[in-house]
Structure 1
């Protein structure tokens, strides 16, 4: 047993020597140099991203609503007395001037009454002049002269009354405007109060709309608003706030406003629906970034990746209003910063980035 021990020791030493030689050979570089016993891990690869330069823009604080167009003046003409229509002095949908006779009722009786009143006035004037002459020559008393003067005044009032009755047989346009479509014809007998035709002043239009009461201290007469109509897509019209109703609607807790809109070409018509954008205030130098730069995080937090020295830095930001795919940044960024707008899913704080050619938008 003791004679075999040296052989086992010698075999063990030979095995260890062979193992050491194999390890030395395996750790050599292809070029023949020895390998490092603790080779460093491969360096992180840059993440390809697109960036955008933070810019400042002039921004208008505004509020939107829906409104209705209303004629500047609107009236439905109705006769004050009953009668038969003798003539119609307009064409449907035509423009009329203030004072134009639109509808004339048969006034034969009224004209006769006026002639009778004028004849009575002529007689009363003659009687009064005769009484004056006789009174000057002391042939009549003061009371006779006063009676003649009173009869003259009654005759004059009779003429004025007859003229007023005759005038009511002619229905005139109360203002410049456009007449609607009549519902009567010559020869029709109409009663007092029957609707004949509407007249609309549409050279200027009113815009009625409502806003939540929270804007009560931010709206005032003279503010500018912009209108859009589905009837004229792609066009905008400017209007000005004309009045703010002092009463808040108790049902909807809304504030009623009325604006005024010039409509010289009469392209917009009353009764139409419009979208209203009311400018509350103008602000300059507002920091804006594309909405695609924002990354949501738990806890209602939003952040962006800002590129600093070739690395992505996570920056928590505060946001404001949004406008046309852009969002206001109220805290966290300043003009000129480069923010990532594409490729955020592969980023982490401090990761190296490679900005793709053409993927960096310079500030305007």
Structure 2
């Protein structure tokens, strides 16, 4: 038993001594050229640029709702029907009033006005006769052939004829276009037509139609409900441009630019990725969350995309092709003032300062300090002091 223990201890000491002399085993990688991409990742929601709140312009009782939430509708499709019994009766009454007013105007133009004109002419002729009779009676009276009573009768007849002529002229002028009676009749037609138009509008308002092609994303109305102006009954998301609204950490604001592309996937369909483009950056920062609202336009939205669906957004903010690079994990203090890597030369590690260019998601561009093909210690290796011996992991 003691012999076995001594043998095991000896083997352990031998292995430890060998590791001490030859150094620990480390994994390494080779410096090479590759593409480097820097992205900003965020979570957002699918939205249309605007939404239409559907409501009623009048107070009424709902008699029919022929659409359901989530249904696709076209512009002009009936969404809600209200009880229109009273509205129809109001239209019938208004049409009757318009017909009556127009008949009065027509009667004035084609009957009353011609009759008044004839009466004016007759009164004018009577006035001429009365004036002639008065002149004769006055002449005879001056020569003594006529009595004073006859002259007085001729004078009264002249005054009556003059009065009748003036009245006939006033009535004829009143019946003509621009006259008082004509204006009153025409105004009545205009008023009744306006009342009819209002009644027809109220009848039209008893039916609520889709303003645009879109999808109903909310419905809060049922048959029998009494609705009134100001209450939102449905919400319509118009078809057309699809947007993604995503809050971006304000620390990344300097990286985001209009026109940058993004890879997007819905949380419900993580394996289906589609493209989007940054189209808007809110100039204000939300103080509570420390984020900036960014909107992305989806030029070709996939069929599975739905309103208010949660999506993951990966915006590509920088890219360099075929540049000398290493894995980010292989660089010590990559964002500090003195970044460096550990290179392997003749079985020993050496600290090599480097200058970093683009620091991507997984790789760092090496602007200066390394050459292609240089072997460096992987970031997963144990910490090793500068100048210590190491052994390269088999297969590396």
By percentage of residues, which structure has more strand? 1
**Residue 224 of structure 1, aligned match among 261, 283, 298:** 261
SS in 2 for 1:120: helix
Tell me which structure has the larger Cα radius of gyration.
2
Question: 2:37: which partner in 1?
Answer: 60
> How much does 1:302 deviate?
4.7
Mean CA deviation greater in 159-168 or 49-58 = 49-58
SS in 2 for 1:271: coil
Where does structure 1 lack aligned partners over 5 or more consecutive residues?
1-43, 360-364
Find the aligned partners of 1:72 and 1:263 in 2 and give their Cα distance.
15
Question: 1:315: which partner in 2?
Answer: 352
Once the two structures are superposed, residues 134-167 of structure 1 have per-residue CA deviations (whole angstroms, 9 ceiling, x without a partner) of 6985542332333333222222212211111111
Aligned alpha-carbon RMSD (Å): 3.7
Asked if the contact 2:278/2:297 (under 8 Å) is kept, the reply is: yes
Asked if the contact 1:203/1:264 (under 8 Å) is kept, the reply is: no
Find the aligned partners of 2:382 and 2:225 in 1 and give their Cα distance.
79
Q: Pick closer, same or farther for the CA change 1:52–1:250 going to 2, 3 Å.
A: closer
Question: 1:6: which partner in 2?
Answer: none
Once the two structures are superposed, residues 48-67 of structure 1 have per-residue CA deviations (whole angstroms, 9 ceiling, x without a partner) of 76543322233333322232
SS in 2 for 1:247: coil
Find the aligned partners of 2:26 and 2:293 in 1 and give their Cα distance.
49
Question: 2:320: which partner in 1?
Answer: 283
Q: Pick closer, same or farther for the CA change 1:318–1:207 going to 2, 3 Å.
A: same
TM-score by length of 2: 0.65
> How much does 1:88 deviate?
1.9
Give runs of aligned pairs for residues 1-364 of structure 1, distance below 5 A: 51-133=28-110, 137=114, 138=117, 139=172, 140-141=175-176, 142-143=178-179, 144-180=181-217, 182-201=219-238, 204-213=241-250, 215-216=252-253, 218-262=255-299, 264-291=301-328, 293-294=330-331, 302-307=339-344, 313-319=350-356, 321-324=359-362, 326-341=363-378, 349=387, 358-359=395-396
Find the aligned partners of 1:98 and 1:169 in 2 and give their Cα distance.
17
Once the two structures are superposed, residues 216-270 of structure 1 have per-residue CA deviations (whole angstroms, 9 ceiling, x without a partner) of 5553433222223321123323222222223333444533222223575442333
Where does structure 2 lack aligned partners over 5 or more consecutive residues?
1-20, 118-171
SS in 1 for 2:258: coil
Find the aligned partners of 2:284 and 2:339 in 1 and give their Cα distance.
40
Find the aligned partners of 1:111 and 1:327 in 2 and give their Cα distance.
76
Q: How many residue pairs are counted as aligned between the two chains?
A: 313
Asked if the contact 1:203/1:262 (under 8 Å) is kept, the reply is: no
Q: Pick closer, same or farther for the CA change 1:344–1:330 going to 2, 3 Å.
A: farther
Find the aligned partners of 2:254 and 2:384 in 1 and give their Cα distance.
47
> How much does 1:180 deviate?
4.5
Find the aligned partners of 2:341 and 2:347 in 1 and give their Cα distance.
15
Per chain length, whose mean CA-contact separation is higher, i.e. which structure has more relative contact order (CA < 8 Å, sep 6+)? 2
Once the two structures are superposed, residues 91-118 of structure 1 have per-residue CA deviations (whole angstroms, 9 ceiling, x without a partner) of 4432111221111010011111112222
Q: Pick closer, same or farther for the CA change 1:167–1:48 going to 2, 3 Å.
A: same
By percentage of residues, which structure has more helix? 2
